[in-house]
Structure 1
Amino acid sequence: MLPIKRIVVGTDMSPLASWAAARAALLAHELGSESVDLIHVIDNLAIETLRHLTKTPLETEQRLMELSRKQLTEIEHTLSEKYRIPVSITTLNVGRPYTEIVRYAEFLNAGLVVLGAHGGGLVRELFVGSTVDKVLRKLTRPVLIVKREPRAAYRKVLIPVDFSEFSGQATEFAVNIAPHAHITALHAVEVPFKARLESAGVDNKLIKVYESEVQVQKKKEMEEFISELRGPKPTLSSIMELGPVSTVIRKNMEVLDPDLVVIGKQGQSEQEETLLGGVARRVIQEASCDILVVPTF
């Protein structure tokens, strides 16, 4: 896994965005990254509204830009002083935030993009269509969604795995950014055709035997998955649990209380946006900890 040289953090100056900037700086310090690049985009729709509502639209827009520039400079100074890392203001621009974040992350060849997330409760239902959602759909680079104020390096990482290439790369990347964390690989075992067998009246003892055989096979797959991981070998344990994927993940997030959950995402071609799968979307919405989404490389 290549080192993460540049970390791009999108900020809208909100408290959650300040957590994202702090986490990005903490990671840059820990990983020896070259820089943290701050990106702030003033939404052009908001600017357009101001132009219609004020008598002096140009003056209002200039004041807004000046205020944003001052705030960015303060953030840059705070991060560089506290974490002793190079921080640069990549851009202060007017446009659509998700478009500009994606464009600059690709242009800078960012190894990681860090964004703040909305809170829980009813707000989480607004995830679809949000800046984070749109960035995840379009960007072909790892995205860290920060939900907690960072106080230390990641120590407990949970990775739901399906033994695919996506899960393998997600796990390897997690080891890269949290080398001293304890990592738990979680696999939800869903027994194929179980419901059909029960409906067909197959003897329950036979179904239990079949269920046990499936679990044995999945255990072998987990062992192979862990043994084939490239790079430094982390402190890693595994959990195999019967049940629907979403239910198993939700339960283990509550029990293990990780500070980071990592999920893999299939990449996309230039011509095609890939929507996040239903399970990944629910994890992002429901988790109270940070979420790292890793596409295929």
Structure 2
Amino acid sequence: MTKLNRIVAATDLSAPARHAVERAAMIAVDKDACLTLIHVASQAPLAQLRQLLGTGDERVAEALQATLREAMRDLGESVRQRFAVAPAIDLSTGDLLPALLARVDAAQADLLVLGARGASFLRHILLGSTAERLLSSARPPVLVVRLPPHEPYRCVLVPVDFSPVSLRSLKLAAEIAPGAVVTAMHVFEVPFEGQLRYAGVDEAKIEHYRARAAAQAQADLAGLLEQSGIEPGRLRLVVVNGDVSQRILEYEQELDCELIVVGKHGAGVFEELLIGSTTKHLLAESQSDVLVVT
């Protein structure tokens, strides 16, 4: 199984970002892992402030930095008291994305945890092309937290497409949520189904192709789950036909999942160039936490 020894939680010190810090602390306690809390103070507004104040007056900027240090110390102490884990504190200044990635690498993180609804820092990080750059560049898996972490994950959904990342996703799901039921889900489509129907192939024959595709997917999924090493009693297998993103979101609601574990890339050639379209859709539309696996 994948081991989580060093966990990093990024925070902009907003109330929504606290969910991510608390989830990271819960995982750190469960895994007996080291926890680091990171805040990156954006260089651009600090530079703008200095320009407004004039080069001769650094007192306000210094006071702001002191306030951030105190807020991070208070957050670390709150985590220590509530979760009995003493986090390391990392406060830095720089361009948001490069600075965050540099600090995560310096911490040799096995998992990066972010809040989905930050006030400024995280909102900027998780929007559009910046989110794509983060998820494309980050070395460890990235856990995007939406839900208040009242308890460990109990229901985890892992969409698989039999690409190399599928097995890693299953193993990481079992590691991060050791007490959860893990639903491994494969969504398939009959190749060229629309063209076959347009070409006049009758519906019975298309249904025959669909049944064969489903049977093959069931066999492949069973083999993948055997490789994962997850106890059979914790596993649920789902093979369905349809649109991938839509089906995943449907089952997220039906199963009342708290976490979706998905690969950064899909199986398609073009999916390897950026983060996959399904992954981006889940980050935008799902109601649960999303763990993006590299």
**2:69 corresponds to 1:69:** yes
Change in CA separation of 1:73 and 1:52 when aligned onto 2, cut-off 3 Å = same
C-alpha deviations, 1:228-269, integer Å up to 9, x for none? 1146666010111110111111211221221111001249xx
- What's the C-alpha RMSD, in Å, of the aligned pairs? 2.3
Compute the displacement of 1:94 (Å).
Answer: 1.1
Secondary structure of the structure 1 residue equivalent to 2:150: coil
Contact 2:132 2:274 in 1 (8 A): no
Secondary structure of the structure 2 residue equivalent to 1:192: coil
Contact 1:284 1:291 in 2 (8 A): yes
Match in the other structure for 2:22: 22
**2:280 corresponds to 1:287:** no
Compute the displacement of 1:163 (Å).
Answer: 1.7
Cα separation, 1, equivalents of 2:77 and 2:130? 26
Secondary structure of the structure 2 residue equivalent to 1:184: strand
C-alpha deviations, 1:28-52, integer Å up to 9, x for none? 111111x211111110111122123
Match in the other structure for 2:263: 264
Contact 2:104 2:112 in 1 (8 A): yes
Which deviates more, 231-240 or 149-158?
A: 231-240
Cα separation, 1, equivalents of 2:69 and 2:236? 46
Change in CA separation of 1:50 and 1:274 when aligned onto 2, cut-off 3 Å = farther
Q: Specify every segment of 5 or more residues in structure 2 that has no aligned partner in the other structure, as ranges.
A: 267-271
Compute the displacement of 1:106 (Å).
Answer: 1.4
Cα separation, 2, equivalents of 1:12 and 1:125? 11
Cα separation, 2, equivalents of 1:197 and 1:132? 38
Secondary structure of the structure 2 residue equivalent to 1:114: strand
Using the size of structure 2 for normalisation, the TM-score is 0.90
Cα separation, 2, equivalents of 1:166 and 1:294? 7
Cα separation, 2, equivalents of 1:212 and 1:125? 45
Secondary structure of the structure 2 residue equivalent to 1:118: coil
C-alpha deviations, 1:195-223, integer Å up to 9, x for none? 11100111221111121111111111111
Match in the other structure for 2:83: 83
Secondary structure of the structure 2 residue equivalent to 1:228: helix
Change in CA separation of 1:274 and 1:199 when aligned onto 2, cut-off 3 Å = closer
Contact 1:69 1:92 in 2 (8 A): yes
Contact 1:98 1:132 in 2 (8 A): no
Change in CA separation of 1:234 and 1:176 when aligned onto 2, cut-off 3 Å = farther
Secondary structure of the structure 2 residue equivalent to 1:15: coil
Compute the displacement of 1:54 (Å).
Answer: 3.0
Secondary structure of the structure 2 residue equivalent to 1:218: helix
Change in CA separation of 1:274 and 1:115 when aligned onto 2, cut-off 3 Å = farther
Match in the other structure for 1:98: 97
Change in CA separation of 1:126 and 1:190 when aligned onto 2, cut-off 3 Å = farther
Match in the other structure for 2:235: 236
Cα separation, 1, equivalents of 2:28 and 2:187? 33
Cα separation, 1, equivalents of 2:293 and 2:103? 18
Change in CA separation of 1:225 and 1:27 when aligned onto 2, cut-off 3 Å = same
Secondary structure of the structure 1 residue equivalent to 2:260: strand
Contact 1:16 1:146 in 2 (8 A): no
Aligned residues: 285
Change in CA separation of 1:226 and 1:155 when aligned onto 2, cut-off 3 Å = same
Compute the displacement of 1:127 (Å).
Answer: 4.3
Which deviates more, 188-197 or 125-134?
A: 125-134
Secondary structure of the structure 2 residue equivalent to 1:141: coil
Cα separation, 1, equivalents of 2:178 and 2:256? 18
Secondary structure of the structure 1 residue equivalent to 2:93: strand
Secondary structure of the structure 1 residue equivalent to 2:109: coil
**2:251 corresponds to 1:252:** yes
Cα separation, 2, equivalents of 1:226 and 1:193? 28
Match in the other structure for 1:53: 52
Which deviates more, 57-66 or 131-140?
A: 131-140
